[in-house]
Amino acid sequence: MKTSCKIEPEDMEVQILTPRLGDTRKAILQESNGYKPISISESKTLSSETLTKPWSGHLFCMFVVFGIASLAPWNMFITATAYFESKFNGSTPEIEENYQNYFQTGAICTDVVISFLTVPLVRFIKIPKLVYFSNSVMLGMFVLTAILAKVDSSSWARDFFLLTEVCFCTMCGGGAMFISTMWAITSSMDPIYIDAFLIGMTFAGIMAAGLTIITLSIPGIDFVGAGFWYFVAAAAILLLSLVLFSQFHCHFYQDSNTEVDSGTLPVSSTTLSKTERTPIHQLIRDTFPQGYSCFFVLYITFVMFPAVLSTMKSTADPESTWASRYFLPVSLFMIFNIGDLIGRLVARVVEFPGRRLIPWYTTARVVFVFLMVMCNLQPRSDSAPVWFKHDVIPSTLVFLFAATSGQILTLCLRYAAEIGTSRADKATIGTIMGVHGAMGRVLGSLSTYIVFLAIR
C-alpha cells in the first residue's frame, strides 16, 4: 500500500543538480521508514556510493570519451596542415601563407565569447541541453568539412577557405561550450570524473600526434585523402560522445535547475521553491586563487605551445629522416601530450604543492619560457644564442613543461569544485573556471608574438 511522502523545505536541494542512477533515490526512499526524507548530507553520501559501484568504471570511461570529444576536433584541424595546404593552393598568397593565423584568430574570438556566455546560460538553461547543442554543432561542422574534402575546390579555393574558416570558428564555439558545460557537470560530481575528463582531453592530443606520425610514415600518401579520414574520425568520436551522453543523461544524471522532476520521487503534487544560489561575483571572488592558477597555467602553456615550439629545429643532420620528418611530431607533440597525461595522473596521487602554494607554483612555471627560448628555435637573430644544442634537452623541457601544466590544471579544478556549497554553485564554478581557461588560452596565443620579437 502506497503512502505519501512529505518533503521538508530543508531537504529541497537534494533534488537539484544531482547525479543519479535511474530511480536510485526512489528505491532508497521506498526502503526508508515510512518514506522518511533523507538529509542533504545523507544524499551526498548515497550519491557518492551509487556513483562508485557498480558503474564507476563505466562512468569513468564515459568521461574519458567526453574529454577526447572536447579536443579531438581542434586537434584534427591543426594536424591536417598538409591537407589545407593542398586545398588552399591557388587561392591567394596571403591565404596560403597565413591561413593558420586566420584559424587561430577565429578560434580565439569564438572561444572567449562562448565561454563568457556559458556562465549565465548554465543558470537558466538545463545543462544537458547545452551539451546536446554544442556536441551537435561540432558534429555538423565536421560532417560538412568531410563532405567538402571530397569536393574539387581548385576553381574556388578562396571561397573554400572562407567556408572552412566559418566551419572552424563554429566548431571552436561549440567546443568552448562543450568544455565549459562538462566542467560544470564534473564539478558537481566526484573529483575522479574531473580527472577522467582531463585525461580524455590529453588522449585527444596523443591520438592526433599518433595520426601525424603514421601519416608521415606512409610514402606517397594523398594528404587530401588523409585529411578526409581525419575529419571522419573526429565526426565518429563526436557521434559516440553524443550517444554516450544521452545514456549518461537518462540513467545517471538529472539537472532540473529550478524544480524537481516529478518522476524522480513518489510524491503527490507538491510545489517546491527555487534553490538559493550564490551570486556569481561572490563565487568568482571565492575561487580567485584557483581561477588565477587555471588562467596562468594555460597562459604560459599557450605562449609556447604550439606556435613557438613548432619552430624548434633538430640539431642533428638536417638531411636525416629524424630531423626533417619526425623531430617535431615526436619530440614536441607526442612528448608534450604524454607529459600532460602523466602530470594529470600524478595529481590524482600527490596533491603537491597544496592549496596555499599552488598560485606561486603556477607563477614559477614562467622559467620554462626562458629555458625553451634558449633551445634551437628558428629563425633567430645572432644576438639570441642557442644554449641547448642536443635534442634530448628540449625534449626533456617540453616533457616537464607539459607535466606541470597537466598537474596544476587538475588540482586547481579539483580545489575550485570543493568550494561550492551546493551542486548548482559547483556547476557555476565549473563554467567560471572555463572562462579563466579560455582567457589564458587567448592571451597566451596573442603573447606568442612577444616571444618571436625577442628572439628574432
Q: Give residue 206's pLDDT.
A: 92
Average confidence (pLDDT) over 282-293: 94
For residue 266, the model assigns a pLDDT of 34
For residues 372 and 397, the answer to whether their CB atoms sit within 8 Å is yes
**Could you read off the pLDDT of 268-287 as tens digits, one per residue?**
333 333 456 788 889 999 99
Q: Please give the pLDDT value at position 254.
A: 64
Look at 263 and 179; give whichever has higher pLDDT.
179
Dihedral pair phi/psi, residue 355, rounded to 5°: -65, -40
Mean pLDDT for 6-17 is 37
Q: Which residue in this structure is represented by grid cell 579560455?
A: 438
pLDDT digits (tens, 9 = 90+) for 125-153: 889 999 999 999 999 999 999 999 989 88
pLDDT-derived band of residue 66, with 50, 70 and 90 as boundaries?
A: very high
Half-sphere exposure of 186 (CA within 13 A, CB side): 31
Q: What are the C-alpha distances in Å from 177 to residues 112, 113, 181, 184, 435?
A: 10, 10, 6, 10, 10
Q: pLDDT at residue 379 above 90?
A: no
Q: Is the pLDDT of residue 10 over 70?
A: no
Cell 606556435 locates to: 307
Sequence-distant (6+) residues with CB within 8 A of 181 are 118, 122, 127, 130, 131, 134, 431
Whether 436 and 119 have beta carbons less than 8 Å apart is answered as no
Q: What percent of the chain stands above pLDDT 90? A: 40
pLDDT for the residue numbered 167:
92
pLDDT in tens, 22-42: 333 334 334 443 434 434 344
Q: Which residue has the cell 564534473?
A: 186
The answer, yes or no, to whether residue 290 has pLDDT greater than 90, is yes
Q: Classify burial at 139, counting beta carbons within 10 Å of its beta carbon; exposed 0-12, middle 13-18, buried 19 or more.
A: buried
